[in-house]
């Protein structure tokens, strides 16, 4: 029986494409359920789990022992304490997009390993940072958990800036016509309508936000 929900299951789907995955790192691991699942599925040869707090690491150690897998645990703020390790893939999930961007920005290994990220908020800020700073979003999928929509992205560092539109920032470039994507668009639409009120109040041009609203409305009509 899997210990993870659809958000983290989407992470394992994206990890399944990573070749020669010798060391997986679960950053901000909470109770290490993702790292456990990665090892049980054979998606990496070995795994480490890091967290900024001690208590989740203690729970993670208990869960790993109960599951019969070996995981090394590190008290670390992002990659800070593990940046010299030969990490080949890493997941940063369940945090805000701005925090994920900061963690990636100060890490050496994040510019070398395959990254899977699952932002809980500020997805547009994360996409902007990634594209402006030489990261490629190789794959982006949308998923539902507890009736809420989420995005999960697979990244690699190329060193080249990616061009993007205003709509790309909020919806990504990969927009499969699925129920999950439609519900994601519904969430973005609700936020965009509120954001537009601020744009109008500041007497700024509404063309970009109107374009986003119009596009989201075309997607949500399929719900």
User: Helix or strand or coil: residue 50?
Assistant: strand
**Rounded Cα gap, residues 220 and 223, in angstroms:** 5
Confidence check: pLDDT of 222 > 60: no
Provide CB contacts within 8 A for 34, sequence distance 6+: 4, 8, 11, 12, 26, 91, 93
Apex CA 86: angle with CA 81 and CA 92, to 5°?
A: 60
Interval 75-83 mean pLDDT: 96
Interval 101-124 mean pLDDT: 97
- Paired with 156 in beta bridges are 136
In the prediction, which pLDDT does 129 show? Answer: 98
In the prediction, which pLDDT does 158 show? Answer: 97
Provide CB contacts within 8 A for 37, sequence distance 6+: 2, 3, 4, 8, 12
Average pLDDT, the chain: 94
In the prediction, which pLDDT does 175 show? Answer: 87
pLDDT single digits (tens) 27-48: 998 889 999 999 999 999 999 9
Relative orientation angle of helices 207-220 and 179-201, to the nearest 10 degrees: 150
Starting at the edge strand that comes first in sequence, how are the strands of the sheet with 46-51 ordered? Answer: 71-75, 46-51, 23-27, 89-96, 114-121, 148-157, 135-145
Confidence check: pLDDT of 80 > 80: yes
In the prediction, which pLDDT does 4 show? Answer: 80
| Nearest partner of 173 among 106, 122, 123, 108, judged by Cα | 123
Domain 6-163 belongs to what architecture? Answer: 3-Layer(aba) Sandwich (3.40)
Ranges of each domain in the chain: 6-163, 179-220
| Nearest partner of 108 among 129, 74, 84, judged by Cα | 84
Phi, psi of 121 (to 5 degrees): -160, 170
Interval 146-172 mean pLDDT: 96
- Paired with 143 in beta bridges are 150
With cut-offs at 50, 70 and 90, classify the pLDDT of residue 221: low
Interval 99-113 mean pLDDT: 97
C-alpha Rg value of the chain to the nearest Å: 18
Confidence check: pLDDT of 9 > 90: yes
Confidence check: pLDDT of 220 > 80: no
Do the Cβ atoms of 24 and 44 come closer than 8 Å?
yes
Confidence check: pLDDT of 223 > 70: no
In the prediction, which pLDDT does 3 show? Answer: 66
Interval 124-138 mean pLDDT: 98
Residue 125 buriedness (CB in 10 A; 0-12 / 13-18 / 19+): middle
In the prediction, which pLDDT does 177 show? Answer: 85
Q: What is the DSSP string of 70-93?
A: -EEEEE-STTTTTTTS---EEEEE
In the prediction, which pLDDT does 2 show? Answer: 61
Percent of the chain with pLDDT over 90: 89
């Amino acid at each position: 029986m899997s210990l993870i929900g659809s958000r983290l299951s989407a992470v394992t789907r994206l990890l399944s494409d990573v070749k020669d995955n010798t060391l997986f790192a679960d950053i901000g691991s909470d109770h290490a359920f993702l790292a456990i699942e990665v090892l049980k599925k054979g998606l990496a040869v070995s795994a480490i789990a890091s967290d900024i707090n001690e208590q989740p690491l203690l729970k993670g150690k208990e869960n790993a022992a109960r599951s019969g897998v070996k995981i090394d645990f590190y008290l670390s703020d992002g990659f800070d304490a593990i940046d010299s390790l030969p990490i080949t893939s890493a997941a940063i999930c369940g945090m805000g997009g701005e925090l994920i961007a900061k963690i990636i920005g100060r890490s050496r290994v994040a510019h070398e390993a395959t990254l899977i990220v699952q932002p809980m908020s500020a997805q547009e800020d994360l996409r902007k940072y990634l594209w402006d700073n030489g990261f490629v979003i190789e794959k982006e999928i949308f998923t539902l958990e507890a009736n809420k929509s989420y995005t999960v992205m697979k990244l690699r560092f190329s060193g080249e800036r990616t061009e993007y539109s205003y709509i790309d920032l909020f919806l990504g470039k990969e927009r499969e016509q699925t129920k999950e994507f439609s519900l994601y668009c519904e969430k973005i639409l609700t936020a965009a309508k509120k954001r537009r009120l601020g744009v109008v109040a500041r007497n700024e041009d509404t063309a970009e936000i109107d374009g986003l609203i119009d596009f989201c409305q075309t997607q949500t009509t399929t719900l």
